Amino acid sequence: MDRIALRGLRARGTHGALPEERALGQTFVVDLELSVDTRPAAESDDLSLTVHYGVLAQEVTAIISGEPCALIETLAQRIADRCLSFEPVREVEVTVHKPQAPIPVPFDDVTITIRRSRS
């Protein structure tokens, strides 16, 4: 399988377990790696035979800024499900970054990475 990657997709969301996270919101960053057989698209030079990553980027940022959830694990699963709804995608790895997590000590980032594939 070939890999298509999108790195650093950013959007503001109101995800979190704490009430202030839901009220104030924060920026979430998402990285995606899609497993796709790109040979049919490459041979025919046809965008419809691969993943339109511009459309996917818009849909993922809409999920980030959409319905809140308590856990970034849930957010990652929603994003993985959407990626797998694109026909050419066979597997996806989703990393959700929460760099503004309410942690009372200095830190750089909090992430969850999941890998999902078609059943």
Indicate which residues carry an active-site annotation: 98
Rounded CA-CA distance 75/63 in Å is: 8
CA atoms within 13 A on the CB side of 109: 10
Rounded CA-CA distance 83/28 in Å is: 17
